[in-house]
Structure 1
Amino acid sequence: MPVIPVRYESLKAILPYMDPNTRFKISLRMPPISPLESRIPLKIENLTFAGLFTVVNKVSYELGVYRDYGRNETPPDVVRMNQRGGLLNDIDQYGVIIYPGLNNVLPGDIDLRTKVQVDAPVYTEEWEQGLVQKLRTLKMLLAERLNKEYIEDDETRNAEVGFDETFRQIILNDSVESIQLQIQSLRDRLSAYTNRRNNQNQPYTAWIQLSVNSSKGNTIQRVAYNKYLYEATKAVHTKLFGNRDLNISVKNLKIEDSLAFERFKEIIHPSSLPIQQLKVSSSVFAADFQHTIAREAKILIIGNITSENGSWTPILRNLTNRIVYLENENRLNPPNNYMDLIENWLERGRPVGTTFYIGIKNEETVTQCLDTLKQRQEVIGSSEKQVQLRINAALMLEVSYQPIEPRGRLLRDDQGKWWLRLRVVRRRYD
């Protein structure tokens, strides 16, 4: 059957309805079509920027450093890392992880790094000693788990006396398999320091690997490792999103922090704002929520850091988003029951439909919150897991809780298990 070429006008009519990832492929494989494709508005439903990981709708683009040992045996930890897409850090000629500094952003470059890259020393004796201490801690814990006597060996004999108690607490409940994998990983990192001392190059060839993953399968491309990973990421973003003259519209955005918000605004069409749903990884000490992209998002999801001990109430009190999810509880002691936030809503009110979901680890925290609220004079009605409180003659606040349904995997111990829900609704008069 003969192949009938698509005419210019037909292609111009078809492209707006194609999935963005299909358009990327067409543009890259057929350069003569690229100018036309880049001029036509690009509509993206879901867009994620997370370091070296970019997702457009249901297709992910991930960069890493692939280490090829050729005919020699590949260490198990490296095999595991290669299977996952490669090392997520840059390395020097010896294999030591490095943290390269800033480079210039040229006109037309799409630079969506979410943190400032700073120059850091590629080697210090303190860093290596820290790794050796962690290795000793892991080996001691593994011996305990296997009911064996821990015997010091050459790997850790020169480590400083003692061990990292904070690190021990973090790994205390890890499985034997996890501990063994971490030991392999540390041995791999320490071997690079040995290479450096002996002025011996790494025993493998490093490549930059781009993995493109979708429900239809995975494709892998490898090129020479002659640029830093953040430069490679910038190159990928420029290929996908560059030279489009604000012709990109995005409905749902997931991004690490506000450092990339301004750069993001430079490539999208103003009609994308406000973002329908924004997910941002953030700290209680960050200024992410002062930016208009965060303030105006219709649904704001905060993937907050669990290891902090500051209160989220001051931030939540100032958010004007209609729907907010604060995913996790942190180490604030005693745990925040958000009574101060609830009192703020009762005093100042919120627009009808405003709903906040706050992740709480222990059911006891939310039940104590509801028990306290049931004693207030504003109570209109209550049940086991809900309290209704009067805001004014027209509005009331519903405070309730429900279990968080994990999506595809078990929740970690430090993640929220219960949603404490605050919702403003109209009062009902029977």
Structure 2
Amino acid sequence: MGSKPMLFWDTKTILTYMEPNFRFNLALKIPLIQTAEKSAPLIINRLELHDNRLVINRTEYRMKVWRECKADAGLDNGEVDDDSDEYGDQTSIDESIQPGDIKLVYDGNRCRPNRWLGYVCPEKVYSLPCNHSIRLYVSDTMYEFPYTNMKMHHLIGRLLTIFIGNRNGEWTIRKIKLKNKILRWPANGRKPIIRHAKIGEYSPYKLNGLQSIINTSVPLTILKTSRSKYEDRISDHSFLKNVKHLIISDGTDFFYRSNVLSIQIPFVSITTPTSLENNLKGLIKTFMRRTRPTGVCFYIRTRSKMNLNRINHRDVLRKSTDRMRLRMGSEAVVDVQYKEIESKLWLTIKTVPKQR
């Protein structure tokens, strides 16, 4: 009895349970299954995006430029981390932007960075041939591509298109980390459900980028960010309406200066220990200015306890050294108290239903 080819739906089922990197490479080697691969459900546990590398689960795709000039062996040849032009100057961010790319950093100086690779390429000066290439490292294997019509930022875009572009099946990224300056996301295909995003320093550009790639019909469970050099407050960005839990690290002053308390986010955590002496009274006053739905909660890491008996407010129902309750409208109460969680001290501010 002869063997029977697998049906399309059988192929999709098998692909669904494959490790993503193995699955992507299998589809590259067997073009007949590429349609099924793009249609099958996909779950990526971890996706990290950098300017010259990306990480999918436990597999890293890392790029270097290999510069090998034939003239003058004393020149600075070898591997470098940045793209460059024919003169050896590092390519600027704006020069690397391709159609559909999204900038995640501030414009700053549009001029070239004050950095070079140590020499002018002899190929340009003396018309001598050079052997420049892109080296792609995947696990213990190196692949090499000519550095003529393609640079590293082109290769990053091509890899992302091959792996996650043109998808029509449902797919999920459990954790994504944006460490790149330019988001080179494929233009075509279904948007993923993203559960947990870490964007580094806060920037509205990064929220723009996330909003453009994410399936906003499913809320983002966690968004983690930190103090920014350029922004002194978190703007009321439309993307934040899709965030359940905002975590701010390395920037308690950033939190106090910002308008986080005015943004509709159910759960906010400030994870860097702070002193409450000069901020707690104003924090509670700001929180009480507007009626909030039940379930809204702020966790603020603190170095020590401040006596809550010292806080006066017209809506106080009762208070003690470690806890106070305030009236919020006719249906809710604001509960302020200290909690110790895993040997860390937190001040919690939470809106709870009023007990009947």
TM-score of the superposition, structure 1-length normalised?
0.56
Structure 1 residues 305 and 25 mapped into 2: Cα distance closer, same or farther (>3 Å)? farther
Partner of 1:208: 134
Partner of 2:16: 16
Q: How do 1:25-424 and structure 2 match up within 5 A?
A: 25-56=25-56, 58-59=57-58, 61-67=60-66, 87=81, 89-92=82-85, 96-102=89-95, 105-106=98-99, 111=101, 113-115=103-105, 119-121=110-112, 123=114, 192-193=117-118, 195-196=119-120, 207-212=133-138, 220-226=142-148, 227-244=150-167, 245-246=189-190, 248-255=192-199, 257-262=203-208, 264-271=210-217, 273-280=218-225, 283=228, 285=231, 289-303=235-249, 312-328=256-272, 337-358=279-300, 363=303, 366-367=304-305, 370-371=306-307, 373-377=308-312, 378=316, 380-382=318-320, 386-392=322-328, 394-400=332-338, 402=340, 419-424=346-351
In structure 1, stretches of 5+ residues that fail to align are: 128-188, 406-416
Instruction: Indicate conservation of the 8 Å contact 2:336/2:347, yes or no.
Output: no
What one-letter code is carried by the residue in structure 1 that aligns with 2:349? L
Instruction: Indicate conservation of the 8 Å contact 2:48/2:55, yes or no.
Output: yes
Which of the pair has the greater relative contact order for Cα pairs under 8 Å at 6+ separation?
1
Instruction: Indicate conservation of the 8 Å contact 1:358/1:420, yes or no.
Output: yes
Partner of 1:156: none
Report the Cα distance in structure 1 between the residues aligned to 2:224 and 2:51, rounded to whole angstroms.
14
What one-letter code is carried by the residue in structure 2 that aligns with 1:59? R
SS at match of 1:21: helix
In structure 2, stretches of 5+ residues that fail to align are: 168-188
Instruction: Indicate conservation of the 8 Å contact 1:41/1:248, yes or no.
Output: no
Partner of 2:184: none
Report the Cα distance in structure 2 between the residues aligned to 1:60 and 1:233, rounded to whole angstroms.
15
What one-letter code is carried by the residue in structure 1 that aligns with 2:247? I
What one-letter code is carried by the residue in structure 2 that aligns with 1:424? T
Partner of 1:174: none
What one-letter code is carried by the residue in structure 2 that aligns with 1:121? R
Structure 1 residues 403 and 233 mapped into 2: Cα distance closer, same or farther (>3 Å)? farther
SS at match of 1:223: strand
Q: Which structure carries more strand by proportion?
A: 2
Q: Which structure carries more helix by proportion?
A: 1
Q: Deviations over 1:204-254 (max 9, x none)?
A: 976534455xxxx66554434444443332222222221123153322233
Structure 1 residues 255 and 351 mapped into 2: Cα distance closer, same or farther (>3 Å)? same
Structure 1 residues 240 and 7 mapped into 2: Cα distance closer, same or farther (>3 Å)? same
TM-score of the superposition, structure 2-length normalised?
0.66
SS at match of 1:101: helix
SS at match of 2:259: helix
Instruction: Indicate conservation of the 8 Å contact 2:53/2:62, yes or no.
Output: yes
Instruction: Indicate conservation of the 8 Å contact 2:234/2:258, yes or no.
Output: no
Instruction: Indicate conservation of the 8 Å contact 1:313/1:341, yes or no.
Output: no
SS at match of 2:288: helix
Structure 1 residues 247 and 315 mapped into 2: Cα distance closer, same or farther (>3 Å)? closer
Partner of 2:181: none
Report the Cα distance in structure 1 between the residues aligned to 2:20 and 2:158, rounded to whole angstroms.
18
Provide the aligned length of Structure 1 versus Structure 2: 317
Q: Deviations over 1:244-300 (max 9, x none)?
A: 2315332223335443555555554453x3212223456372786433322321122
**Hey, which bits of structure 1, 4+ residues long, moved more than 6 A?**
2-5, 197-201, 333-336
Report the Cα distance in structure 2 between the residues aligned to 1:98 and 1:282, rounded to whole angstroms.
28
Report the Cα distance in structure 2 between the residues aligned to 1:334 and 1:399, rounded to whole angstroms.
13
Alignment RMSD (CA, Å): 4.7
What one-letter code is carried by the residue in structure 1 that aligns with 2:223? L
Report the Cα distance in structure 2 between the residues aligned to 1:402 and 1:232, rounded to whole angstroms.
48
Structure 1 residues 250 and 200 mapped into 2: Cα distance closer, same or farther (>3 Å)? same
Partner of 2:172: none
Instruction: Indicate conservation of the 8 Å contact 2:11/2:33, yes or no.
Output: no
Instruction: Indicate conservation of the 8 Å contact 1:112/1:234, yes or no.
Output: no
Report the Cα distance in structure 1 between the residues aligned to 2:121 and 2:141, rounded to whole angstroms.
38
Q: Deviations over 1:8-37 (max 9, x none)?
A: 331122333444434323323322211221
SS at match of 2:220: coil
What one-letter code is carried by the residue in structure 1 that aligns with 2:15? L
Instruction: Indicate conservation of the 8 Å contact 1:353/1:424, yes or no.
Output: yes
Percent of aligned positions with the same letter in both sequences? 22
